[in-house]
Each structure stands twice: as structure tokens, then as C-alpha cells.
Amino acid sequence: MATLVVDRSDLEVRSEGAVLTVYEDGERRGSVPLKLLERVVLQGTIRLDSGVLGKLAEAGVPTVILGARTSRRVAMLLGPAHRDAAVRLAQFQYALDSEWCVGWSRRLVAAKVRAQLRTLRRAGEERPDARKPLSDAIATIEGARSALGREAAALSVESLRGIEGACAAAYYRGFSALFAESLGFRARNRRPPRDPVNAVLSLAYTLLHFEAVRAAHIAGLDPYVGFYHRPAHGRESLACDLIEPLRPRADAWVRVLFRERVLRPEHFVHDKGACLLGKAGRGHFYGAWENYAGQPRRWLRRECAVLAGVLRRRGEMLVEEPGEETDE
């Protein structure tokens, strides 16, 4: 299975039977059978014939459309919905169960904090020159982490968000010390990202979120109904939940891109306060992403399958037996 990335405004994608074909200036440049595609990423002003999106949806190939320059998600296509109503019914019930939400959220925050500490400690082994800011960050995170051991009755989703926020602030103070001063990375910022590191972090998180939505959709979960990130208009809150423990791992991967000079300052441009990854840089990024993304994709599929299994056991008592029909 393959990922198709189309990232040039002079290209056109057409559907020709069971094949997607890419044209440049009216000339055929390549094709790929739909059955070999696992996902499609479209970035920029790509021309599509009217049947392309329909073919992708029919084949169940998830597609994400990103802005031409900012790499922000514009739209997402997922294909047919899962038919297991039991999973969604239980998911909706659990989203209203404060005890379940606290338990889920505590596990989520604990996993993210562990990943943050692992990322900083491994970096400290490689960068003794950054030992002081890394040690300070680790000490602060360890202090905040101790609060996760409280009795469940003493915790709430709101208090867990406070713990996560304190850990994130300390984490980025340490993490930013690992990058060259010339990159201008001081802290996490977005909408728009103002330096090269934040530009790449934003794109990596966008693609992780897409993978989380896809994994939830395949498992029969509703991506919009989360337990830590509360349901909100227009936000896939469950996907936001799922990627939290994966962010520090993605951060470590982004650091490698800059450390090994896969991405360099000349791959970025600044426009009206925004830092943008240029076409050449995106080419390097997407090539490296496919090598990296297998592990988080497997983790997301596994986590969604486990969650769906738990929910299905509760939800099956809420649905009619197979074969039962109501009069219409």
C-alpha cells in the first residue's frame, strides 16, 4: 500500500477507471491503481476532474487537502462510514461519564509526559552542552508528574489539563535549547508558525491528526467525540486525544530533520509574519515522513481497535439484534 502526495500547482489528477493518473501540461506523467493506495495528500492548487474524489471515497482511500503555502488542513475525505452502531452509542455514553473521562485522560496525560521525559533524556545524552536547560525541564516535569498519582477523586479533566500545560511549558523550554540559534525557535507557536521548527512541527501534527481521524473512522469510532478534549463544533476531539502521546515522538523526529540537515534555513520563506516551508523543503519532508510514519500509524490503529472493542461490549446491549427490522 502507498501514499500519494501531490504537491505542485501545475499538476492535474484524473480518474481513469480504477486508476488515478497525474498530468502535467496535458501530458500524462504517471498513474497509480486505486487498490494500491492507502492515503492521498493534496497540497496547493491541484486540478481534479469531477470523478476523482468520488473514486477515492468509493475505494475508501482517505484524502487530506492542505493549503498551498501554510500546510493547514483545508478539507478531509474519509469514505464510507463504519456500520457498527454499538461502538458509537457507547462512545457517546462514555463521553458523558466523568469517571471514565478522568481515567482516560489520566492515562493519556501520563503517556504524553513519559514520552516528553524520554525525548529530553535521550537528547541530554547526545547534547551535554544543553544539559542545564534539559535538566531544569526534566525536574519541572517530574514535579508536575507526581500529581498524576493522586486518587481519582482528587482529579478532574480540568486539573489534568493544568498538569499537562505545566509539563508542556517546561518541555518546550528544554526542547528549544536543542536547535541552532539561527532557527529562532524559542517556544511553540502556530497560526501562523513564526520560525522553521514550528512550521515543521505544525505540518507533522497536522498529518498525525489526519492519521488519527482515519484510524478512528476505520475502527467505527466517531472522531468528533473525545473524552479529554471535549466535543466542540468542527473539532475531531477524539483524534486530538489520540495524538497527544505521539507529539513528543514527532518532536524528536523533527529535531533529527534539522540536526541531519535534511531541512535547512534555505528551505523556508517568511511572509507577513508566517514562516512557510517551500516546495523543495516539502519534498524532503514528505520523503522522510513516509519512513517515519509507520510506527505512529500502527500505534493509532491498535489503540483505536482496543478502544472500539471496549465500547462495543457495552454498546451491543443498546442495539437491536442483527436481522431485526422496523416497519416502514
Same domain for 204 and 118, yes or no, is yes
- The answer to whether residue 328 sits within a structural domain is no
CATH number (domain holding residue 243): 1.20.120.920
Tell me: the pLDDT tens digits for 215-231? 999 999 999 999 999 88
Average pLDDT over residues 181-189: 90
- The answer to whether residue 255 sits within a structural domain is yes
- The answer to whether residue 19 sits within a structural domain is yes
Same domain for 172 and 238, yes or no, is yes
Same domain for 283 and 144, yes or no, is yes
Cis peptide before 265 (omega within 30 of 0): no
Question: Is pLDDT at 54 greater than 50 in this prediction?
Answer: yes
Tell me: the pLDDT tens digits for 134-147? 999 999 999 888 88
Task: Give the pLDDT of residue 153.
Answer: 60
Same domain for 51 and 16, yes or no, is yes
- The answer to whether residue 248 sits within a structural domain is yes
Same domain for 64 and 106, yes or no, is no
Task: Give the pLDDT of residue 190.
Answer: 84
Residues spanned by the domain of 145? 85-317
Number of domains present in the structure of the chain: 2
- The answer to whether residue 257 sits within a structural domain is yes
Same domain for 158 and 281, yes or no, is yes
Same domain for 111 and 170, yes or no, is yes
Task: Give the pLDDT of residue 84.
Answer: 77
Same domain for 190 and 288, yes or no, is yes
- Which of 39, 61, 77 is the last residue in one of the domains? 77
CATH number (domain holding residue 37): 3.100.10.20
Task: Give the pLDDT of residue 92.
Answer: 93
- The answer to whether residue 323 sits within a structural domain is no
Q: State how far the Cα of 100 lies from the Cα of 103, in Å rounded to an integer.
A: 5
Tell me: the pLDDT tens digits for 66-123? 876 666 776 777 777 767 788 999 999 999 999 999 999 999 999 999 999 999 999 9
Q: State how far the Cα of 122 lies from the Cα of 248, in Å rounded to an integer.
A: 12
Same domain for 271 and 124, yes or no, is yes
Same domain for 152 and 66, yes or no, is no
- The answer to whether residue 324 sits within a structural domain is no
Task: Give the pLDDT of residue 311.
Answer: 92
- The answer to whether residue 327 sits within a structural domain is no
Cα within 13 Å of Cα(220), Cβ side:
19
For residue 143, the one-letter residue type is G
Q: At residue 231, what are phi and psi to the nearest 5 degrees?
A: -55, 135
Average pLDDT, the chain: 87
Same domain for 59 and 98, yes or no, is no
Same domain for 90 and 188, yes or no, is yes
- Which of 24, 46, 77 is the last residue in one of the domains? 77
- Which of 77, 103, 120 is the last residue in one of the domains? 77
Question: Is pLDDT at 322 greater than 70 in this prediction?
Answer: no
